[in-house]
Amino acid sequence: MTVPKIIKTFKTSDINSENAELPEKQEFHSKNKSANKIGTDYNFKRQTIWKLVLFYGTLHVLGWYGLYRACVYCHTVTVLYSIIVGVASQIGINMGAHRLYAHRSFKAKLPLRIALVILDTIAGMYTLYYWVRDHRQHHKYTDTDADPHNSSRGFFFSHVGWLMSKKHPAVREYGKTIDVHDLESDKAVMFQKRYVELEQKLLKLKKMIIFRLRSECRQPA
């Protein structure tokens, strides 16, 4: 069985080829030497972001309610459509963000990269750019305070808790050392980053306008 032309197995000799360059001195699969000096400060108290706790809590409650509705009321075609979209979005994360961009396990031409970025967007994981940066940082500083989802802080934190609390100062400091020049040279990745961030800014502006209008409506004439 031949490998389709759109995908090419990664080789060391391809490092300097277009859109296949591995960031220099980047270690994906082994802990960086400096990680041993960082460690984990178990006395550090993380600040909880309660609006995100409410958001993720509500999201999971609605998810279980949606599953109930799917089993009892939804048409079979709707259920199948939901499954297909779910699987497609996971392909965007696992094949796109994880294997292609974070670890550079294979090479992909522009059409496939665009498709994977679209699927990643459907998954609702913010931008592929930040997901990849955080994952590279996770591998470089595994199980230390510089690891965004430090498993030394427990199962819950490493899977969910890190999303609902402010970053450790070490995460911010060492995050600046992560090489992402290959992502910044990828048009598909930067297109998504640019417009997802614009969407977030527009949503914030919308909230500010609504809040302002409500405040004015409450004032006595």
Task: Report pLDDT digits (tens) over 108-121.
Answer: 999 999 999 999 99
pLDDT of the residue at 170? 93
Handedness of CA 115, 158, 146, 26 (dihedral sign): negative
Tens of pLDDT, residue by residue over 170-182, are: 999 999 999 999 9
Tokens of 119: 């699927």
As to burial, measured by CB atoms within 10 angstroms (0-12 exposed, 13-18 middle, 19+ buried), residue 1 is exposed
* Residue 191 pLDDT greater than 90, yes or no: yes
Q: Tokens 């391809």, residue?
A: 14
Query: Taking every pair of C-alpha atoms in the chain, what is the biggest distance, in angstroms?
Result: 76
Distances (CA, A) of 59 to 38, 42, 56, 64: 34, 30, 5, 9
Residue 210 CA: distances (Å) to CA of 155, 215, 217: 39, 9, 11
On the question of pLDDT at 24 being above 50, the answer is no
- Residue 5 has a CB neighbour count (10 Å cut-off) of 7
C-alpha closest to that of 153 among 167, 172, 174, 140 = 167
